[in-house]
Structure 1
Amino acid sequence: MMTDLFASRHIGIRKEDLPKMLKTIGVESIDQLIYETIPSEIRLKKPLDLSREMSEHKFLSHVNSLSLKNKVYKTYIGLGYNECITPSVIKRNILENPGWYTAYTPYQAEIAQGRLEALLNFQTMICDLTGMELSNASLLDESTAAAEAMTMLFDVRNREQKKNEVVKFFVSNEVLPQTLSLLQTRSKPLGIELVTGDHEAFEFGEGFYGALLQYPGKYGQVYDYKSFVQKARDKEIKVAVAADILSLVLLTPPGEIGVDVVVGTTQRFGIPLGYGGPHAAFFATKEAFKRNIPGRIIGLTRDTDGNQALRMALQTREQHIKRDKATSNICTAQVLLAVMAGAYAVYHGPQGLRYIADKVHHNAKILSQLLEKQGFEQLNTAFFDTIKVRVPDGKSLKSKAEKNGINFNYIDNNTVSISINEATSQDDIKLIYTCFSELTGSKDIYSIDVKTKDVIPHSLIRNTLFLDNEIFNSYHSETELMRYLKKLERKDLALNQSMISLGSCTMKLNAASQMLPLSMPAWGNIHPFVPVEQAEGYHTILEELERDLTEITGFAGTSLQPNSGAQGEYAGLMTIRAYHESRGEAYRNICIIPASAHGTNPASAVMAGMKVVVTKTDERGNIDMLDLQEKVEIHSENLAALMITYPSTHGVFESSIKKITQLIHDNGGQVYMDGANMNAQVGLTNPATIGADVCHLNLHKTFAIPHGGGGPGVGPICVAEQLVPFLPGNPVIKTGGKKAITAISGAPWGSSLVCLISYGYIKMLGEAGLTESTKIAILNANYIKNRLSGKFDVLYTGEKGRAAHEMIIDCRPFKQNGIEVTDIAKRLMDYGFHAPTVSFPVAGTLMIEPTESENLDELDRFCDAMLSIRKEIDHSSSEDTNNILKNAPHTLHMVTNDSWDFPYSRQEAAFPLPFVNENKFWPSVRRVDDAYGDRNLICTCAPIEAYAEA
């Protein structure tokens, strides 16, 4: 084995494994399998033009040298992003820990209780600090959260407001520029008219349903919004506030003045700047909107024994169930970052947060008074951490500041704002003071012995308690927090425990060498709005990643800005919309989507202002060509796009794909390809070859960014030449095409920090390794398919009987034995496995995707578990519900209990196969009661009184 070849470490299958696997599949070679799987007319004719693969050692040296090209200045730009301090115990035990970063979205609650508890902590923290009744478990960033507030309030407007021909939403001039840009993007397709203005002078006219305020304002002024909120309430207009999370430790919570929604980012709670992300946003609202709130909600329920358990509540809101009628999108969370932010609050507690907030505020007041003493006019009358200063010559100040390694926010040539943060020291204050002294030639001696005066009005000072739950008052030493985090981690089944064979979600190895750069300070401490020349290392990587993704997809351009797969879908459709508008064809608004498509597809199309027309699939799971032709002919004049997944969601390379794409083009439409299944394409075919015009890529799937328990994700779009001019821009830092649409996410290049992971994945594998990975993913899927053959029916295959990188097995026949697909999913936990994707895209099925990074022993263990479960199904009957499958999963408490009232042995329950003995994972609760949790929604930690009573 070539020990310096990354592919030999990433790909699990060894050369000596191939004879057994090929024999099981019934082919002579991998090439024969690929020939029988992928239609020859769409196979690439030449290798990808990518740089030669790097060893892991060389890559780490390379990425470290690139990091040194970044200039890590002390940055006081603010605008929603602030340097902070990540406690080492959180960095080491969460961010750098595969037990946390390789976990999947907690749909299987019984093996995700640790992550769910961490997210419940996050929700409690948000509710306490905002003064609201209900919080979700995170969104993507502050700007998208604000846009979600605008659309949620649009959906819940009252009957009279729905009658208005013109629908208006007020946005304060104090709102962050990137948020305004994103509101412009989201409002246009929905027909919402944005009205910006001075909230202090504004009077609501006809047609308004909602408003957005910033607290504090974008340049630091703290406003008293009580009168504005009251004016809005008098007219039944709902109000959202974008709030700085740390400021709410000292300021009156927005919930206490009667607002309807509070959004923001938790970035400054221990999350690195990372040149824009990923960071966990928050969304808090009133309980009345619990069925309208976007994102996940973690709620309390009970298990079969009546014990408390956690789960994702109110899932019927989500797009995988309601599709285009959804109020929540499952691809809008940043779980790993929310876990970190929640742990930051647990570690510091209310007193620690108060200390940090007081320190930040005190330093801002000292700086304000020092500058005023020098003769500078400080314009903010009330502020928390940001001052706004009038200067005689902004260019000279910028020059002097940058010579001292400092970035301010230059509003114009005569005004600058300075945002103080947790990492700002007294030495930093002195250096800022020196920059201003040099500007005026002042000889004043620096001194911090100034008595600061209060700058927050008494009416705006917080006087309510927060974080009074026991969880936030127990783990303030490193030992305590380390053990608490380990306790939570042990309750979660992640990829470091066993294979997670989720179809469509591609849970592959997240290699340590790809992850290590995230901890390098020269990558973590870069503000997204610094001058681009200070981020040379980042731009080398981002530009090269864009080039590589463009080459892999066969397209002409790429945008890395979308920070989730669903955002990528939306961005792709918005570029198509802009393209049609540029040609005078804005009337094209029909989006055709196959019935088998991902649930995000119709939801994204509706968000983009398109009307969804669904086409049938045939008995083999392919697009029904006759039905498609009929729908295209009916809607040809207004056809905007077709959304397809390729290979299909059914795990098949449809041979008619080029006829399908040509049909759309002949009728004036564009083809959007959902890139969820790119793991079956890279190096063998590509979206351009099949005739698509735009695709999004899930970097958290195909390109190995960890799922992080349900985020971070990155969903860049790659586009054909005619769509390049419309790639999304940013109002602060120029990016995107010549005719760029407005922002898709808050930061210019989205979640730049985790793009390092995909960059490393591509650079270390190179063309040969990427292509081999695709072949092995297809090999592994077909190996599992054939091992399970005869015991489980595969629902769809290609024309030659092959699966792509995933397959769907049909569990519906087992209903005659009284067994549902959920029973199989829960029983797999007893064997130490997370279930494959359940009931998607077909109810009553399991979709299995092994990826390329699993070895043969693990594939066999999974197959052995499935075949063992098949035997258990055969011994089950619909008349007897007290069986091993219906009672699964089996917990340690059950198995060690003195009482055992089951018709099978403890060993059969907990150790059904010999390999389980070697690495037993125990579900921490029995099967959860979903319906109970939805009927009795509790989504914050219990108050401290409850612990006292207990």
Structure 2
Amino acid sequence: MLDLDNINSSPPSEDSLIASPTSHNALSKDKDIFKHRHIGIGEKEQLLMLKKLGYGDLDTLIDSAVPQAIRLRNPLQLPSPQTEIEALATLKSIAQENKVYRSYIGMGYYNCITPAVIQRNILENPNWYTAYTPYQPEIAQGRLEALLNFQTMIIDFTGLEIANASLLDEATAAAEAMTMSYAVTKHKSNTFFVDRNCHPQTIEVIKTRAKYLEIELIIDNPQTFDFETSIFGALFQYPASDGTIYDYTNVIEQIHQQKGLVTLAADLLSLALLKSPGELNADIAVGNTQRFGVPLGYGGPHAAYFATKDEYKRQVPGRIVGVSKDVHGQPALRLALQTREQHIRRDKATSNICTAQVLLAVIASTYAVYHGEEGIKNIALRVHKLTKILAKGLEKLGYQIKSPYFFDTITIEIEDYDSVLSLAESNLINFRYDKNSIGISLDETTTLKDVKQILAIFGQNELSIEHLAIDNLGIPSDMQRQSRYLTETVFNQYHSETELLRYLHRLESKDLSLTTSMIALGSCTMKLNATAEMLPVTWAEFNSIHPFAPLSQTQGYQTLFSQLEAWLAEITGFAGISLQPNAGSQGEYAGLQVIRKYHDSRGDFARSICLIPESAHGTNPASAVMCGLKVIPVKCDTEGDINIEDLKAKAEKYKDKLAALMITYPSTHGVFEEGIKNICGIIHAFGGQVYLDGANMNAQVGLCRPGDFGADVCHLNLHKTFCIPHGGGGPGVGPIGVMPHLVPFLPLSYQLSAISYQSLEISNSDSIGMVSAAPWGSASILPISWMYIAMMGSQGLTDATKIAILNANYIAHRLAPHYPILFTGKSGLVAHECIIDLRPLRKTAQIEVEDVAKRLIDYGFHAPTMSWPVAGTMMIEPTESESLAELDRFCDAMISIRQEISSIEMGTMDHEDNVLKNAPHTAISLISEDWSHPYSREDAGYPDIFTKQHKFWPVVGRIDNAYGDRNLVCSCIGMDQYNTKET
């Protein structure tokens, strides 16, 4: 309480504050204060919850839930926790070890301008970055619209008919194009042509992807290659990596004559001036949208794009946003076709990509909305004209430009560039060096002053460039774009900051994120993404560095990587960590590739069988197939655990071919399997390796370690356990940890030499190679996880795990009298999530799991995970960050919904026309004069006290998914035109 009588007295001394009983025993508790910010349950709440569960203290509950055989006996050896201020200061000092040079390296990565209105209102806005993948589209219409804008932008620029909602990076998008081409052509050949003038990182990722699919690669010059050779597809860079613009029309025709497909890896900004891939008759276009307002970030995260012809729409990897309609006949958006494809098709899936780079795709599409057709064209023209001035100036200085046709990149032929290299470095400038040439790529941020500085480095004398003529473009006339793009309304009405700000606010108001309520999605933890963790993402020392800058300029990043790797190794019990995989799916793929390479190194080339429990995450079998493995399912018992006898039988049956077991722990059913050590032992006895899906690592941190109980490989979802936000469905990071015998095979954390950017320096021939385009994947968001671990410390991380388990069991306990809890351990407890069974409601009240999910929206909640791993159920995961009040509010809503269902069962509410079948209710539907429902408007829209105080309104009613798939529209199109497509 404020002492008004002594308000003007002298402030207390520092010593008295430390000693004061009201100062929180400052020195002892300040160090772990962030733990109390992150964990939503205080000590009093813990005791109340434990009492209801019948436990006297938290450790007794944990001892009952987690098998003693796998428990850690000592605390994690991590640095002492730092306060938010201390951690930020420490990380700032690390960041300052990086040197931010002006990079003209190119290779698909460019400096760009992130408009401040986009940085502040999207990138730094928790309404955007704390939202989840739009599985409940009625409460995700804002980001779905932004993604539809993205798809429209890509369709416009590429001239193709359909685009997805983004992929992980350009290199993996190119690899996806290769495998899609292989599937579409029905394996008419197993040979794929790759232009040797593609970006080198793309070539390396394609090499990795092709190996175990038994795809033969031809890496050659398309200008001299004989395309009568039988190939199923080809990849060309457009413009080429050295900047040259080639007309691929004739080559594409030759490949089409033998039924092959052609992919162009096209620079998006160049397509404002160049003929589109569609106009060249390419079948697929891939690329990076990074230069549309997304910082370099030392390689990521960035949103790649993937576009193709309509006839291949069902083979497109990743996510597609489509237009449909809601129950009121209004246009509505939702994920189409590929939504959770891996969960349905499993080992028959065409790709293991189960997400998108949503946050980055939203930034890129909004950049196009802000600038529009004229703005983008002006940016492209300015970049190109500055490049032409530079080329003319260099020619005047006596240098020879490799090609007369280019967009933003020129290559200079030069025998000895040591003096240029020395001068460039002294001016804090990076060029691209390759044997006897230097590459220079200009970008949106380049000025005439920069061009003069570059010319001074090459000429060592100031050259007057004002008089250089640039009347015509450095693009062949028949390759110049004539077709328009970005003509849709959305790209032509928000060019002032005021209008864009209002548009962005309208979009974010349509979405439910963690700023609204808890998102209790099982298997996809939605926990606090603390502001202090997010701040470093926009520091220039992290986000303004080119991924192929020399290591001498990135020592801060190297320090961060080594510390984070060491911490993750300690947390998991593994000997080595690779940070390169930039999604959980990529982590799965990389982990299985490591296992295959290990077997190969021992001469066990026949080991190609992967055992996977029937309950496994759908990406598991898809990843296995991508690694050339054959999937054999393993049965589960009635408790949801792996059937040990079936596992033994199949491990023995395939002992000579057994490569791996993929298992999730705690299990997909949300319990700690008692027999996990035995399971690992069985696999090892028959020569296999154990891949542990680390999606549920947040239930293990500080309590047990996969490396201790038998796993050989494990991927981690940093976007889950370690607080990188889901960003509306991406970005993510999926590093892998391995035991000592697998360390030599980890993905290659390569570097491109400061004096040979064209050639990758392969320092480890045992490595599986590269699985992502950038050496350390999505490097610029790794500071988030660094901050989280640094501020939590060993005890904080362990306490977070304990509270996550407590919260899940509390919810299970409260809901058990109303809904059956499907799986529990021997002690009757769950791990960090619980599954409630809604299947009986179909018989008693004709209520489906979807009805309960949509009704939760009326209560202001995002539904838990539906129908996985068991159809007709909900998987609920509360995380450690929610307060008891929010947990109770969720439970109260679920109990209230059960009472509404009871009214249907008893006949007091209609079986067809009821609050669940008609949910979610929009504000417009409530004020409609035509209200004929047998329940009140208040019951529909304000079902509890909380909603009367704070109401989140969905802007559309329940969406008709089947209609949208029958009438697939994936770009900005008026509903009037869309309605004519009904079939």
Q: Could you state the TM-score of these two structures normalised by the residue count of structure 2?
A: 0.94
What does residue range 27-66 of structure 1 map to in structure 2 within 5 Å? 27-66=55-94
Aligned amino acid, residue 503 of structure 1: G
Gaps of 5+ in 1: none
1:449 matches 2:471: no
Describe the SS at the equivalent of 2:411: strand
TM-superposed CA distance for 1:324, in Å, is: 1.0
Cα distance between partner residues in 2 of 1:258 and 1:765: 54
User: Which residue does 1:934 correspond to in 2?
Assistant: 965
Match of 1:476 among 467, 471, 495: 495
Aligned amino acid, residue 417 of structure 1: G
Cα distance between partner residues in 1 of 2:711 and 2:662: 9
TM-superposed CA distance for 1:317, in Å, is: 7.2
User: Which residue does 2:550 correspond to in 1?
Assistant: 531
User: Which residue does 1:840 correspond to in 2?
Assistant: 868
Aligned amino acid, residue 93 of structure 2: S
Larger deviation: 789-798 or 313-322?
313-322
Cα distance between partner residues in 2 of 1:189 and 1:151: 12
Gaps of 5+ in 2: 1-23, 753-760
Cα distance between partner residues in 2 of 1:272 and 1:186: 27
1:435 matches 2:435: no
Match of 1:543 among 548, 558, 562: 562
TM-superposed CA distance for 1:437, in Å, is: 1.6
1:214 matches 2:241: no
TM-superposed CA distance for 1:207, in Å, is: 3.7
What does residue range 86-485 of structure 1 map to in structure 2 within 5 Å? 86-158=114-186, 161-162=187-188, 164=189, 167-315=190-338, 318-412=341-435, 414-438=436-460, 443=461, 445-452=463-470, 453-485=472-504
TM-superposed CA distance for 1:391, in Å, is: 2.3
User: Which residue does 1:814 correspond to in 2?
Assistant: 841
Give me the identity figure in percent. Answer: 56
TM-superposed CA distance for 1:332, in Å, is: 4.0
Aligned amino acid, residue 450 of structure 2: D
TM-superposed CA distance for 1:204, in Å, is: 2.6
TM-superposed CA distance for 1:943, in Å, is: 6.8
What does residue range 530-929 of structure 1 map to in structure 2 within 5 Å? 530-729=549-748, 732-733=751-752, 739-816=766-843, 817-877=845-905, 880-929=911-960
Cα 1:122–1:608 change in 2 (3 A) is same
Describe the SS at the equivalent of 1:53: coil
User: Which residue does 2:112 correspond to in 1?
Assistant: 84
Larger deviation: 311-320 or 451-460?
311-320
Contact 2:393–2:463 (Cα < 8 Å) also in 1? no
TM-superposed CA distance for 1:173, in Å, is: 1.0
Describe the SS at the equivalent of 1:128: helix
TM-superposed CA distance for 1:446, in Å, is: 3.2
Aligned amino acid, residue 925 of structure 2: M
**Cα-Cα RMSD:** 1.5
Contact 1:153–1:238 (Cα < 8 Å) also in 2? yes
Aligned amino acid, residue 692 of structure 2: M
Cα 1:360–1:944 change in 2 (3 A) is farther
Cα 1:863–1:3 change in 2 (3 A) is farther
Cα distance between partner residues in 1 of 2:954 and 2:763: 47
Contact 1:728–1:737 (Cα < 8 Å) also in 2? no
Q: Deviations over 1:124-163 (max 9, x none)?
A: 00000000000000000000000000000101105xx54x
Describe the SS at the equivalent of 1:257: coil
Cα distance between partner residues in 1 of 2:683 and 2:714: 15
Match of 1:505 among 524, 528, 540: 524
Cα distance between partner residues in 2 of 1:741 and 1:329: 18
TM-superposed CA distance for 1:898, in Å, is: 2.1
TM-superposed CA distance for 1:200, in Å, is: 1.1
User: Which residue does 1:17 correspond to in 2?
Assistant: 45
Runs of 4+ in 1 over 6 A off after TM superposition: 943-947
Larger deviation: 541-550 or 310-319?
310-319
Contact 2:409–2:442 (Cα < 8 Å) also in 1? yes
Describe the SS at the equivalent of 1:497: coil
Describe the SS at the equivalent of 2:656: helix
Aligned amino acid, residue 924 of structure 1: V
TM-superposed CA distance for 1:732, in Å, is: 4.5
Aligned amino acid, residue 476 of structure 1: H
Cα 1:519–1:493 change in 2 (3 A) is same
Cα distance between partner residues in 1 of 2:326 and 2:943: 23
Contact 1:559–1:736 (Cα < 8 Å) also in 2? no
Aligned amino acid, residue 283 of structure 1: F
Cα distance between partner residues in 2 of 1:945 and 1:385: 41
Cα distance between partner residues in 2 of 1:617 and 1:689: 24
Cα distance between partner residues in 2 of 1:731 and 1:524: 20
Aligned amino acid, residue 318 of structure 2: G
Describe the SS at the equivalent of 1:876: helix
Aligned amino acid, residue 877 of structure 2: E
Describe the SS at the equivalent of 2:465: coil
Contact 2:112–2:443 (Cα < 8 Å) also in 1? yes
User: Which residue does 2:19 correspond to in 1?
Assistant: none
Cα distance between partner residues in 1 of 2:977 and 2:413: 52
Q: Deviations over 1:766-816 (max 9, x none)?
A: 111100000000010001010112111110001100100001110001112
Cα distance between partner residues in 2 of 1:147 and 1:736: 23
Aligned amino acid, residue 198 of structure 2: V
Q: Deviations over 1:18-63 (max 9, x none)?
A: 2210011111111011000011010011111111111001111222
Cα distance between partner residues in 2 of 1:407 and 1:455: 24
Q: Deviations over 1:484-512 (max 9, x none)?
A: 00000000000111000000000100000
Describe the SS at the equivalent of 1:93: helix
Describe the SS at the equivalent of 1:777: helix
TM-superposed CA distance for 1:738, in Å, is: 5.8
TM-superposed CA distance for 1:331, in Å, is: 2.8
Cα distance between partner residues in 2 of 1:382 and 1:358: 14
Cα distance between partner residues in 2 of 1:774 and 1:569: 23
Describe the SS at the equivalent of 2:182: helix
Cα distance between partner residues in 1 of 2:412 and 2:975: 44
Aligned amino acid, residue 448 of structure 1: E
Cα distance between partner residues in 2 of 1:316 and 1:406: 44
Larger deviation: 232-241 or 724-733?
724-733
Q: Deviations over 1:176-229 (max 9, x none)?
A: 111111111111111110011110111134541100000000110010101101
User: Which residue does 2:757 correspond to in 1?
Assistant: none
TM-superposed CA distance for 1:329, in Å, is: 3.8
Q: Deviations over 1:290-328 (max 9, x none)?
A: 110001110000101111100101136710111111124
